[in-house]
Every structure is written in structure tokens, then in C-alpha cells.
Amino acid sequence: MLDNHSFEMLVSAQTDALYRVSMAMLKNEHDAQDAVHEAILRAFEKRSQLRQERYFGAWLMRILINECKKTLRRRRRYADIGDALPDIASRDNPYLSVEIGEAIDRLPEKLRLTVLLFYVEDYSVKDISSILHIPDGTVKSRLNKARTLLREALTP
Amino acid sequence: MKEQLKTAFKPTPDRFRYAVEEAVREAQAAPARKKHLSKGFKIALACVLVAALIPSAVFGATKLYELIAKPVDSYGLEIGVERKEKADYPEYVKMHVKTPDGFAAMSPEPDNMKFYSVSASEKFTDGFSLYPMRFYNAVDMKEYIGNVESVEERVVDGHQAYEVRMIDGAWSRLYVYYEDVNVFLLIYHKDVTDAQLESFVKGITFTEGTATDFTYLDTPSDERPKEQPAYTYDETYVEHPLSTKLTFTDEGNRYTAQLSNVRTLDNISDLDEADFASAFGKYEIADDNGDLNPNTVNTIKDGDGFDSTDELLNTEQKNQTLVLADLTYTNLSDKDIELYVPYHINVYNRDSKGNYTQATIVDLENKVYMTDLCDGELAYMTPHGAGKGFCILTLHAHETLTVTIGSRVDTDMLDKAYFTLYGVSDVVDPAPEGEGYQTIYLFKVQNDA
């Protein structure tokens, strides 16, 4: 089982990915921090279930995505009582370029997440299939669809 | 497009990094709710070479302090500083580290000094990380370390140092003392050669810092870790009869879910491979004949790292059973709902007062736990979310849909198995609304009658 220091090192190595994925999903740093916090607690608690250290990144990402989904579902529930969801113009915008940020944000959540994991976080199709619990073919078709949409959005 | 996307994000803010580090600290400080301990263990007596055996000349003629290591009980170690003369060192120091050949720095942050081998397939499975400390004034401060396999005094780049190897292959620790600046530097390292370690230490220097530009020096953990209290999450367990119909909401739309028709399988040859989650492939959890593979379970007595180490009491192969159940959803609304199936199976002991505890705990008082007991995650589902997440389905307006779900359970634990649902604020009936996931809904797999 991972010792404390190894756990800390592996989480450290994932900090940027945790930030990007949680922000791309939740678009709000406060919620993103909460989701990451909960994901780290759960990962530490469940670390004995991780059979091979080399899968730590994908494993932690799967836990984080589940936590983000929980937050989204809570938000949906309260959306009808007036909580507006933050948009790209909010202060928590994680993107350097508003143009690219808007293009990414306009992608449906499933495509956005797949694109992010593949192009930004460098996960393989097989890894993403495991993280998102979807078949390899679905990952590829999502990437294909997302590429088309992004190309359309970013072409002057 | 890859480059465009890769450079689209702002750097992670420092406050976010800090929040991640805080979360790690919190996780490590909290005793585990469901304790899982390391598998094997090996014991070696700590061997301490007293500092007196090393000629003081190697540390310089004007030696102010000396690093002293002493064994504590059978497996612990304390490292402290003995003052020889009046202290005189800069209040603020700045640490500079040269990135060693073949390694890369974790981030450009100057205080985040972690280096991993560029040839490793994953970051931070090996390399170095630095933790600078200082024994402020009080020379009786000590660093306490548990689970020590061996300790050896060394001289590294002219500095007094202790190499501490840990039980169970955890990252080794090199404590290096920079007496001219009174810095006690802990270098964690893993899978590096002595030459790489020596070269790394040679690349570390200190200069005098200022009140606005300095390296933060922490204080050593100067108390032997105390017995940690039993940790309890603020969770409420609510058990319902299996047939209970729960009502959920999704964006204001309501739907119901009801479990029924529980059955078990030891052989899964008749089930379609495509209906297993990718993480639990049919032929990863079963052999070619479809017989479920056994699960290896260890029973371990927790050690405190000083008087005792983790002790493996028993290892056994546990037969697995796939528990299948039908889950009937009904959409009560006029809109399609994207349905997330959140059920899994967990094993609990229920006492006469109706309190639930994890069945992995064998003897709480004596800290005996079972590890890797019952996976319980949703391994099988039909229909499943083709083209979506495995656990995500579309429930059309006013549609009734029956889904068959399956999770593996250790066969001898079937009578303690519960379909488990972490309340995620979606369940609104019949249980009262609580603090989201702090409420845990249980449905016993086997009828007591």
C-alpha cells in the first residue's frame, strides 16, 4: 500500500491535472477545491484498493470526476431556486485565452472532459476508457466530434 | 490543436496548490475509517553508529552543532541536535537546488522542490523531494520517525547525515545537517543510486535570505506520534427493506428506483462480456470457464511504528460471488432524464443496537483489520451506458426501465452485504434530507428470514 510520502508525491504530480479537470467541469474554483479535497480524502482512504502505483493518476482522476459529478448534480438540484451557474466571464475562468476557453466550455461536458484528458492530460484512449467507464470506440468518437466542433469554433 | 489546448490553461494558482497540500495533510492526519494496511512486513533491528565514531574534522573545525540519532523502542528513531558552542546562524536562508541530470523539477515554484526521473513512466514514482527544517533555539527538539528498518550515519558532501531506510520499501530518508546555517534537510529519495544521491546533495546550497525572500523552514515533528483516536465520519446509516421505492430528483424531474429479484452467481460464463465495466473485465475477474477468481484477503494487526510494526496475521483466498439484482426505474416527469446508477455493495456488521461498522474491522480494540475485502463496485450492468459513462443511462419521459446490476462480494460475507447508496442530495423520499453524502442508505442483500 502507498505510504504517506508516496501518496503525497503522487498527488503533487497530479495537482495541475486536478486543477484543470475540476475547473473545466465545475467552472468555479471554490467548488473545484471542494471536489479535489473530497477526492484526495477518498483516495487516501481507499489507497489499498490501488493495485499498481502506476495507475494512480488515472485512478485519482476517476475519483475526482465522480466528485465533480456529485457537485454538478447537487447544483442541478438547486438550480431551480436561483443559483446561477458561473460562466466563462466569471473570475474563476481557468483559461488564458478567452477564445479557446469559450470554445472548450461550449463543448458538451462529455466531449470537454474527453478532450481535456486526451489532449491536455495526455491520457491514452485506453486510460480514458477506464477513467470514464466507456468503451474505447466511444472515446475515439467523442474525440472526433470534439475536434470537429473545436475546429469550427476556432477557425476565423 | 494539441498545443493550442495544452497552453490554453492558466498555471495552477498557488492557493489551489496549497489547498491540495492541505487536503493531503488532512487525509494523512485522520485515522482511516476503513483501515487498510500494508501487506507484508519485514523487520530489521535499527543499527545506529554514534556520531562520535566520525572524526569531527570532516565537519569543520568550528563545529557548532552535532546531529545525534538514537533508537526509540524497537522500530523508532529520534534525531536531534546537540549544541557544542553558541549558535550563530542567519535568521533567513535561501535554499538553491540544481536539478540533477536525468531528472525534472515538479514545478517552477522555488519552494516546491520535487524532482522525478524523466525516464520513469509516471511522475513521482521515484526521485527526490526536499523538506527543509530547523531546530529553532531549543536544541532538545527531535525528529521522531517510526517504522525504521535501518539507520546509518554518513558524510555526504562534507555534511553530517543519517540515511534512514524504512520498513516495507517506503521512500528512504536522508537527513543532512547544514550546521553553518542550522538547517536540517530531509531528503526523501526512491530508486536513485548512491552516486545520484551524492550528486544531488552537491547541488544544494544555502545563501542568506531576507525577510521577503527566503526558504520556509519547518520544525521537526518533535513528538512521538500519539495513539490516534478512533475516527468516525459524521455519517448516518439508514437501512430500508429491499423493496423500498426511493424517489430521486434531477433538475426538478422526479423518478423512482426499486431493487428486486436478488440472485447470486459463482460462474459468469452465461453473462455477456460487453456488459462488464472496463475496469472489471469479465475475464479479469473470472477464469476462461467463467468461474470467478478468488480474492486475496490479509488480516493485519496495526503497529504503532515504534513498539510494533504492522503484523500480518493471516492471508486467505476468498471465493467470490456475483450478486445480481434488478433495479426498476420509473420516470415520473415529462422530460428525459440522464440517469446515473450509483449503487454498489459494501459489507457491514450490525450490532444489537442497530449500529453499523465496517466488516473489515476484526477487532477494533486490538487494531486488527482485513484488507482488500469485498470490492463491491458495480462490475456488471445491463443495459449499460453505451456511448455514455458505464453507469449513465437515458430514462425517457414516463418510461419504466429495468436494469440488472452486479457486484462481487466475498462469498463468506454475503450475510453482511448491503446494497449501498451514498446519499448525494438526490434522494428525497422516504429518508429526510440530510447533509448530502453523509447519509448512507443500506438495503440488505440477503433477507434475514
Domain ranges of chain A: 1-84, 95-156
Upstream peptide bond of B241 is cis (omega within 30 degrees of 0): no
Q: B358 vs B132, which has greater pLDDT?
A: B132
Question: Which of B28, B124, B385 comes nearest A12 by C-beta?
Answer: B124
Given this structure, which CATH class describes domain A95-156? mainly alpha
Say what the pLDDT of residue B143 is. 87
Q: B180 vs B319, which has greater pLDDT?
A: B319
pLDDT at residue B350 above 70?
yes
Question: Which of A41, A73, A141 comes nearest B27 by C-beta?
Answer: A41
pLDDT at residue B327 above 90?
yes
Question: Which of A4, A10, A110 comes nearest B28 by C-beta?
Answer: A4
pLDDT band of A104, cuts 50, 70, 90 = confident
pLDDT at residue B10 above 80?
no
Has residue B95 been placed in a domain? yes
Per-chain mean pLDDT for chain B: 78
Say what the pLDDT of residue A77 is. 47
Contacts of A129 in chain B (CB under 8 A): 278
Interchain proximity A5–B171, CB inside 8 Å: yes
Has residue B7 been placed in a domain? no
pLDDT at residue B187 above 90?
yes
Same domain for B148 and B247, yes or no, is no
Say if residues B218 and B98 touch (Cβ distance below 8 Å).
Answer: no
Per mean pLDDT, which range of B51-60, B143-152, B391-400, B405-414 is the poorest? B51-60
pLDDT band of B234, cuts 50, 70, 90 = low
Interface test mutation site (partner A, options B6, B16, B147, max chain A beta carbons within 10 A): B16
Interchain proximity B114–A132, CB inside 8 Å: no
pLDDT band of B429, cuts 50, 70, 90 = very low
pLDDT at residue B29 above 90?
no
Question: Which of A5, A18, A130 comes nearest B188 by C-beta?
Answer: A5
CB of A30 less than 8 A from some CB of B: no
Same domain for B197 and B245, yes or no, is no
Q: Which residue of B has its CA nearest to A59?
A: B279
Q: B341 vs B204, which has greater pLDDT?
A: B204
Per mean pLDDT, which range of A112-121, A135-144, B344-353 is the poorest? A135-144
Q: What range defines the domain where residue B380 resides?
A: 236-444
Which one, of B109, B93, B110, lies nearest residue B211 by Cα? Answer: B93
Say what the pLDDT of residue B235 is. 67
Say if residues B279 and A134 touch (Cβ distance below 8 Å).
Answer: no
pLDDT at residue B232 above 70?
no
Interface test mutation site (partner B, options A6, A9, A60, A148, max chain B beta carbons within 10 A): A9
Greatest CA separation found in chain A?
51
Say if residues B420 and B343 touch (Cβ distance below 8 Å).
Answer: yes
Say what the pLDDT of residue B372 is. 65
Interchain proximity A95–B8, CB inside 8 Å: yes
pLDDT band of B185, cuts 50, 70, 90 = very high
Say what the pLDDT of residue B46 is. 32
Say what the pLDDT of residue B109 is. 59
pLDDT at residue B47 above 80?
no
pLDDT (average), residues A87-103: 64
Cα separation, B365 vs B361, in Å, equals 10
Same domain for B285 and B427, yes or no, is yes
Domains in chain B, number:
2
Q: B161 vs A55, which has greater pLDDT?
A: B161
Contacts of A133 in chain B (CB under 8 A): 277-279, 385, 389-391
Cα separation, B222 vs B220, in Å, equals 5
Has residue B141 been placed in a domain? yes
pLDDT at residue A88 above 50?
no
pLDDT at residue B205 above 80?
yes
CA angle B382, B346, B435 (to 5 degrees): 100
Question: Which of A77, A133, A147 comes nearest B390 by C-beta?
Answer: A133
Has residue B289 been placed in a domain? yes
Question: Which of B8, B17, B34 comes nearest A100 by C-beta?
Answer: B8
Residue found by looking up cell 440488505 in the block: B444
pLDDT (average), residues B44-67: 42
Interface test mutation site (partner A, options B1, B35, B124, max chain A beta carbons within 10 A): B124
Count of pairs with CB atoms under 8 A, one residue in A, one in B: 190
Same domain for B196 and B59, yes or no, is yes
Say what the pLDDT of residue B440 is. 77
A residues 109-128 lying closer than 8 A (beta carbon) to B: 110, 115-116, 119-120
Q: How many CB atoms lie within 10 A of CB B431?
A: 15
Has residue B119 been placed in a domain? yes
pLDDT at residue A81 above 60?
no
Domain A1-84, CATH: 1.10.1740.10
pLDDT band of B288, cuts 50, 70, 90 = very high
Say what the pLDDT of residue A130 is. 73
Shortest Cα distance, chain B CAs vs residue A86, angstroms: 17
Has residue B215 been placed in a domain? no
Has residue B154 been placed in a domain? yes
Interchain proximity B27–A40, CB inside 8 Å: yes
Interchain proximity A29–B425, CB inside 8 Å: no
Contacts of A111 in chain B (CB under 8 A): none
Q: B76 vs A129, which has greater pLDDT?
A: B76
Has residue B9 been placed in a domain? no
Say what the pLDDT of residue B343 is. 83
Cα separation, B444 vs B347, in Å, equals 10
pTM for the complete prediction? 0.62
pLDDT band of B302, cuts 50, 70, 90 = confident
Among B172, B193, B208, the domain-final residue is: B208
Say what the pLDDT of residue B38 is. 28
pLDDT (average), residues B336-355: 84
β-bridge partners, B439: B236
Same domain for B202 and B267, yes or no, is no
Whether A95-156 and A1-84 are alike in CATH topology: the answer is no
Beta carbons within 8 Å of A72's beta carbon, 6+ residues apart:
A25, A26, A109
pLDDT (average), residues B317-337: 93
pLDDT at residue A129 above 90?
no
pLDDT at residue B11 above 50?
yes
Same domain for B164 and B295, yes or no, is no
Same domain for B106 and B249, yes or no, is no
